[in-house]
Chains A and B, each alone.
Chain A
């Protein structure tokens, strides 16, 4: 039972390079989220999706794009990486709208360094 799987686990980019982070869940969850975690800042929501083919902006969406072509996958793209995007990125999913009996399930993160 894999749950939420994130790839890659680590990545180093140079300023201006692009990359895609992949999140896959095998729990048939409708909602998926991308968060970034920085020291002293807590988890901040980047983008989220309420179902296949849908995406929406979160708290800190600038510099990122997302796609949800398949229900089980949620991709986070950085078109032109900047040092300010150095962070740990977490994907999460939930069966339905977070709330009653529907907590977030997190992956183990992608550690991204932009030099």
Chain B
């Protein structure tokens, strides 16, 4: 059974304090790993797709990396506007067209 676990559940950082969010997964035949950002009262917003181990993607202060068992979302010198819940999801070959989501990590960046 495909499964996604995110840690920590919640993370508080000071502005400028870099850190990483973890997404561990088990999936039969990874077709893609997705990162989304969700602001309170809003729907998730797409950030990155990673397809194979060793791949990296960057967007502003965010960098996503992928290994065979987990993905990391690195946040460099975060700002208060980076505060949000970050969701990780996987699509496996046995769940074609469907994503399995983790529970999310809620990030709070204090000025």
Contact = CB atoms under 8 A, between A and B. Distances in A.
A45 interface: yes
Give the contact-size bracket for chain B.
20 to 34
Interface string A25-48: 000000101010000111111001
Contacts of B99: 43, 45, 98, 104
Interface in B33-47: 34, 36, 41-46
Given A40-B103, A109-B43, A103 B34 contact: yes
A44 to B, nearest CB: 8
A106 interface: yes
Contacts of A77: none
Given A48-B97, A97-B96, A42 B87 contact: yes
Contacts of A101: 49
A90 interface: yes
25 contacts: A35-B101, A42-B102, A42-B104, A43-B44, A43-B87, A43-B101, A45-B98, A48-B97, A48-B98, A90-B43, A90-B44, A92-B43, A97-B96, A97-B97, A98-B91, A98-B98, A99-B91, A100-B32, A101-B49, A104-B46, A106-B43, A106-B44, A106-B45, A108-B41, A109-B42
Interface of B: 4, 31-32, 34, 36, 41-46, 49, 51, 87, 89, 91, 96-99, 101-104
Interface of A: 4, 31, 33, 35, 40-45, 48, 50, 58, 90, 92, 97-101, 103-109
